[in-house]
Amino acid sequence: DAGVIQSPRHEVTEMGQEVTLRCKPISGHNSLFWYRQTMMRGLELLIYFNNNVPIDDSGMPEDRFSAKMPNASFSTLKIQPSEPRDSAVYFCASSPTGGSFNEKLFFGSGTQLSVL
Amino acid sequence: QKEVEQDPGPLSVPEGAIVSLNCTYSNSAFQYFMWYRQYSRKGPELLMYTYSSGNKEDGRFTAQVDKSSKYISLFIRDSQPSDSATYLCATTGTASKLTFGTGTRLQVTL
């Protein structure tokens, strides 16, 4: 299994530009999570999906952020317009459904976003 | 106040030392406790998983939870240079929403 695949690995953009991050979860996993990691705040949950449906988006910072999961094998996180304070590492994670194993997350390698 | 507090380190120890990593949390509803290990430029990977209070051992690693004091610990025996990484504690109640600490960076030197 290739694991959770994220693209791009690095993204450098200018303030005001639209940024789209992509994620392919592990096949058969029904839950997908988007996290943001910074030195100051650590790992923060932005949004998570179960069976392609957004369950909790309370961590999305503001309306500039949006996430979609059109099917079980693909998700996007979009920032429009981007701002320098959005600079962080964005991780996608997936997990299988069912009981306590729902807390076992499998992370991708992340997208390092720099907004100039 | 953050729900999960963790000393960022860095913590530097010689090879073979016993390492103690700790977190405190504030929410009494948290029941599941995890430790993730994150190597540089990689995503976190699950290391240990425990439910409620008590100890759990896996090879050189021991996870300990004290719910009365809201204290989580990870002990690493016979530490190796390959253990050099950032260690994140995480916890949750019954919902599928982990709350992470900011991580402690560990460096094991030869």
How distant, in Å, are the alpha carbons of A85, A97, B38 from that of A51? 31, 9, 27
- Within 22-41 of A, beta carbons closer than 8 Å to B belong to 31, 39-41
- Closest by CA to B100, choosing from B42, B64, B46, B60, is B46
Quote the pLDDT of residue A98: 42
Which residues in B have their CB inside 8 Å of a CB on A? 6, 32, 34, 41-46, 49, 51, 88, 92, 95-103
| pLDDT single digits (tens) A19-55 | 999 999 999 998 999 999 998 888 999 998 999 999 8
pLDDT per residue as tens digits for the range B1-44: 678 999 888 999 999 999 999 999 998 888 889 999 999 999 99
Nearest residue, CB atoms, A105 vs list B6, B46, B51: B46
Which residues sit opposite B79 in a β-bridge? none
Q: How confident is the model over A51-82, as pLDDT tens digits? A: 999 988 999 988 999 999 999 999 999 999 99
Asked whether the bond before A61 is cis by omega within 30 degrees of 0, the reply is: no
Q: Is the pLDDT of residue A104 over 80?
A: no
Q: Which of B110, B105, B28, B42 is nearest to A39 (CA)?
A: B105
Tell me the HSE value of A77 on the side-chain side, using a 13 A CA sphere.
32
What count of other Cβ atoms lies within 10 Å of the Cβ of residue B64? 19
Q: Give the CA-trace dihedral at B65, B74, B21, A104, to 10 degrees.
A: -90
